[in-house]
Structure 1
């Protein structure tokens, strides 16, 4: 069994372990609820109903990740719920899990396809485990009266809730990174960085809303649910508009990328092949979701400068041109991209993609963006493959020849790390078992 196959099987086992742990926890909670009966049933029903509604009004985050901010915030609030309108509550950890699970499943079932959506199942498992962890930190201390014996009144109580929420957020980010890494092959460190970055965005709003609901419920009761869920719902609308803007940007870039193909400057599908290879290399080198998105944009538009040429390059193979001509085309493409309104990093990456790794004095150019180095290797690889096919070489022989050419120029034109990443990616593609 190859190393890649072993890693794939380990990822599958890891995902199943997370799902199994969440399912067993939910079954234990449901069993305890049936045997002992719910404490404060109308309160539990109110929280479950809002969690279900929150599951139905999800929002898409960068990287095509879906999240239910309202459902998560309300579940977290129930896990940290102490007094309700001045009266103590008595629900425990297992009831918190049972109510969260019931609300989540109620939101997933219509439509039924939600139960077959792996991303939603991952999110549901994460929520159950995270909320169970938060409830374990809070509920035993509250129900045993330990919090009453410690001077945790006023601001100190808020600090305690903040600590519980922060630990629960880190737990959720870690679980999300584990599942994201298993699903996409992204390195764990990069996946965790993505999740922590998301935590600083809408994640902070989720945590703050959960804390406010749990705190204010002690004074205003269940009215805290609609009172503090409404601002989060408005924030979701803003995130949804931002997602629409991102989608429009992606469509614009795809259209511009095809301009060189329609005009006959590059072979059909060249931009997409380069982008796919570049993203595979980016994942191999540990880039996060945001950097991968910018890398894909730049790779799709890397040849846009060819539109300024009077005569097309044969087969659009810019990697076979003189160095100075490659750089001129890259600079012209960067100027075009800068005027399209896409993120400025994209034009900066395209402007540098033809620059060699080493300066004329032999020193390594550390200012060269990693994305530019990746795109240069991906573009040269596709151009060399096309040239090999033109000479009648089989695909396997063409790939070996292209890799050998890139290795001969590594350290001068091409980044050695990127070339070796290409070798690893190609090896896994040829030998999946």
Structure 2
């Protein structure tokens, strides 16, 4: 199977109407793999025996064609067999109340008959994306299983140990945490470690980079939106707060939020309640919030760019990760760890670090911190063919800053 074919999501259509199944097939074919079932039993068989990423299910299935019990049973079966598979329900015109009942039972979303083919394709893609993100999250957890929690923050420098001691203490609580530190110091890794060592470890860890999202989309990403809330909002969308329910929400670069979003975030912190964009129903969530910033938020407050009341809500337990230049003794351990990791990633034999390289790494100031060190070590592993990593393939900008020029 080609890489492109493997990337296609598999959509299960559950409907007893052959004409409708054909319409849905043509709406999805080309960008998805499509499998079909006519009944709840057929749907369960597909869920148990095949690879399914998304389910499209008519609520009115035989033998209960006048009711929705069979459709709701498909939702329950999907949650039991494949909890991460989103189910999108199909309803008749003017059946929103029925659709909302399905959503309360665990459906991802809904659309009404007669449907628009582009609308069907859009919501299927969106649901598949959510499924893919959840799978990647699970794979990441599995990959990091051998180094869960605080073990992933390599090093024993006193300045790091002080932070980790505080982090271990706060992990046992539900307190809000604000992590400060320069870019590349490992703020998301620390946030994830706190989550994994907490009572919420079995729940989701949802990370959002506030700096990576345009202001026009950040509210929709955080709080979700109702169908028709704005141009292009073809379907109901759950925001990151909803997706993090029962777990931890990590907001990175929180200093980038606009004043309007800061107000809404303050309310969520105070009441654990919000509305989707375009919606009137108040939703409540059970989350633990961890925020991070590479800016000095106290200075941002003084400059009027960040709300003081929000800052005090976030700053319950402040943690500051040190830059790598303040923990130079940890660099050999980190470099060896990244060398082994990169060798495994690229199918290379493990290589040793020459003493001259270790000395050079400890001399450099690392403006990009741990992330930059990891990238440099990966570069050396990829370019070096021998059993030892030396100075030969260090970036020119590093060599120019070192007190010696040997290569």
**Shorter-chain TM-score category?**
under 0.3
Larger Rg: 1
The structure with more helix, counted as a fraction of residues = 1
Whose relative contact order is higher, 1 or 2, with alpha carbons under 8 Å and at least 6 apart? 1
The structure with more strand, counted as a fraction of residues = 2
TM-score (ref. length: structure 1):
0.26
